[in-house]
Structure 1
Amino acid sequence: MAKQIYVIGDEGRLVVRNFIQKFKEAAVDWMVTVVFPDEEQLVFDEMDKNSHVVVCLWEEIDFEVVRHIAAAQKKFKFYIYFIGVNFSFGIEEDKYFNKIPSVRFTSYSFEMAFLLSHIEENNIEKKRILVVDDEPIVLRSIKTWLGDNFEVSLVNSGEMALEFLLMHPVDLVLLDYKMPTMEGPEVLRRIRGDGNLKNLSVIFLTAKNDKESVVTVAPLKPQGYILKTMSPEEIKKAVADFFRNKIVTV
């Protein structure tokens, strides 16, 4: 899928129109979509989770539109660039504005290559992983080992995992096999039975590698197994190999 940039700006303004033209010419490796800065037209949905960047072009930014974009950013994790001259708000609005993961450029005349270099450097999409395990030390360890290269979320029960997945899109679930109240196979059974989650990639992170355990969950088609006894480097390699080749190497 092509890397997506949404450029938000009024093409009726000459400075914005010229910027957009130069930006499209320079951003040859990106899919550039121009959107008018109107809240009704800024519709972010599940398709936008693959969008890497939003570039906002205004002389004076409408704060309600900023708020709308920032709310979508929390869910879809894209980076926001603001380009213009005047970024002044009231005190409370400015505090809110400063919390948004963003970069401000105060001129339309900077080198386009510099902007694109910054975008490329800071917007490499991280895969999202949910780790499900009832042991806090396992959760903390996996977070430490994978956190530099992946966006890692943690829950300590099967019930919490299912609630989390209803609200947050992820690319992979690392699922403990043996847990109290709801074991891993039951969690996977419910995932496969949910129309929105049924194709989600799930790898068992487990101490159980006996034949009976593997055969029991085979009809649920897990993507593989990673043993808790593996070293941190082996676990990191297994996850990286999965995203690269869709094969778990243990």
Structure 2
Amino acid sequence: MKALKCRECGREYPLTANHVCEFDFGPLEVAYDYDLIRNSLNREVISRRPNSMWRYRELLPVAKEPTVGLQVGYTPLVKADRLAKRLGIRELWIKNDTVNYPTLSFKDRVVSVALSRSKELGFDTVACASTGNLANSVAANAASAGLRAFVFIPADLEQGKIVNSLVYGPEVISIKGHYDEVNRLCAEIAGKYSWAFVNVNMRPYYAEGSKSMGFEIMEQLGWEIPKHTVVCMASGSLLTKIHKS
């Protein structure tokens, strides 16, 4: 990693817990020294590493060896011949991230990166705004890493979406309002307390975790880039980061 860089104006910032440019409010993204990475990382090096997302760690935003989610990633890429025939296409592969560890969601990728970086920056408390999967992953990975966790949810969220998180013992705080209002409150809290909000002040690092899915797909296809990639999305971060990879 070299710096955090504004996507809009290109200004660079130190690699701290920060997510927005103070000049134009553009989002900050992690910038890498690809020339340096190219000298130490190649396919042979990657092939000798454990089957997890961290086999590409030089291309993920951690300064040292990762400390959270060491078993996350490298999920199966399944050839779906019958579905391909049904759709009238020559070849189709499906990336099965529903077997991710520990919460059966691709969120384990982004949370593992965010929490590993949070520990490097000295945080002992992590948090998130969520309506389900992210809360589960933050709670589970924080418990594994020995971090205190706070989860902020809309007050009317269905109980079934939060019960899995409660198993891991986070502080769950319900807020009257919809998700966007909860997220805005978290942005204010992140500026007041020394907490690492994975999808607020740690977002530049958090979002980078999605790239690992793109790296895995290419490696599992024999280092070939698929002609088309169809991505499920909500905010769009998974789509943009797979494209970046």
**Shared fold (TM-score greater than 0.5)?**
no
The higher relative CO (CA closer than 8 Å, separation ≥ 6) is in 2
**So what's the TM-score if we normalise by structure 1?**
0.27
The alignment's TM-score, normalised by the length of structure 2, stands at 0.28
